[in-house]
């Protein structure tokens, strides 16, 4: 098949122009395809990428030339197909946050260059400092005080979500990425101080539904 659309487990390392090899489960056929488009989706099944693939010639390594003949372009509605795609600052923040998926949890991680991992506030600080939106690494309580408070209904991708786990004091912070999903360094605690302990707890930067715990406070990061 010259063109395929497949759903795969989300992988922020994939990009348009990458080559992938597809293997048919019903035969021994293998073929190379080039990624020509990626759309990420978040559902109860997790983080998925919907990937459009174009067959690549095994000899030249290029996308196959169209067959000979005359082609007619379909009539498009006025203004369709001509607008450039641009990424907002919020899109850039979320894309950068996803590059840390799978990074192991480390209590107080993200403060020193030799840290193997990140804790919850270290992760959100690392992402937001990249875009000049946080002055230094603030703990979760300080992040809650630093950013203007908003309601859950006002959440936008890149904003922060805070959890208290039943009390009134903030104990955890993650980042909202849209569609009811968050990304954060989750699953660890103050005893998670080595890669082995993080793996044992499956503690790492991951994507989860916002209601995996009861969210209490919300902060606006981008005005």
pLDDT digits (tens, 9 = 90+) for 35-47: 777 777 665 556 6
pTM, 2 dp: 0.64
Do residues 158 and 90 lie in contact, with contact meaning Cβ atoms separated by under 8 Å? yes
Among 82, 8, 20, CA closest to 50: 8
Do residues 53 and 5 lie in contact, with contact meaning Cβ atoms separated by under 8 Å? yes
pLDDT given at position 63 = 47
Rounded to 5°, angle at Cα 66 from 63 and 68: 150
Domain boundaries in the chain?
3-55, 89-219
Give helix 120-130 / helix 89-98 axis angle, nearest 10°: 140
pLDDT digits (tens, 9 = 90+) for 125-160: 999 999 999 999 999 999 999 999 999 999 999 999
pLDDT given at position 64 = 47
Structure tokens that stand for 29 in this block: 């056929």
Q: Between 3.40.605.10, 3.30.720.210, 3.90.1720.10, 3.30.390.50, what CATH number should domain 89-219 receive? A: 3.90.1720.10
d(CA 35, CA 77) in angstroms, rounded, equals 27
pLDDT given at position 71 = 46
101: three-class secondary structure by DSSP: coil
pLDDT given at position 4 = 74
Mean pLDDT by 10 residues, the chain (223 residues): 73 73 60 76 65 67 49 54 68 93 94 93 97 96 97 97 92 96 95 96 95 95 95
pLDDT given at position 83 = 52
Lateral strand order in the sheet of 19-23? 3-9, 46-55, 30-43, 19-23
d(CA 168, CA 189) in angstroms, rounded, equals 18
Structure tokens that stand for 219 in this block: 């902060």
d(CA 156, CA 134) in angstroms, rounded, equals 17
């Amino acid at each position: 098949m010259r063109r395929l659309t497949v759903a795969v487990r989300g992988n922020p390392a994939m990009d348009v122009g990458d080559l992938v090899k597809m293997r048919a489960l019903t035969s021994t056929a293998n073929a190379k395809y080039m990624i020509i488009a990626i759309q990420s989706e978040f559902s109860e099944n997790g983080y998925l990428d919907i990937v459009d693939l174009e067959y690549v010639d095994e000899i030249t390594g290029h996308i196959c030339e169209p067959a000979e003949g005359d082609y007619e372009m379909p009539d498009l509605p006025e203004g369709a197909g001509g607008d450039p795609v641009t990424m907002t600052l919020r899109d850039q923040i979320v894309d950068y946050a996803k590059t840390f998926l799978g990074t192991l949890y480390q209590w107080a991680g993200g403060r020193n260059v030799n840290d193997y991992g990140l804790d919850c506030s270290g992760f959100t600080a690392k992402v937001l400092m990249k875009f000049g939106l946080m002055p230094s690494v603030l703990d979760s309580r300080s992040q809650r005080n630093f950013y203007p408070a908003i309601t859950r209904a006002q959440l936008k991708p890149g904003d922060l979500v805070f959890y208290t786990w039943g009390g009134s004091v903030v104990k955890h912070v993650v980042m909202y990425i849209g569609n009811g999903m968050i990304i954060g360094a989750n699953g660890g605690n103050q005893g998670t101080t080595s890669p082995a302990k993080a793996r044992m707890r499956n503690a790492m930067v991951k994507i989860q539904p916002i209601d995996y715990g009861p969210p209490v406070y919300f902060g606006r990061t981008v005005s």
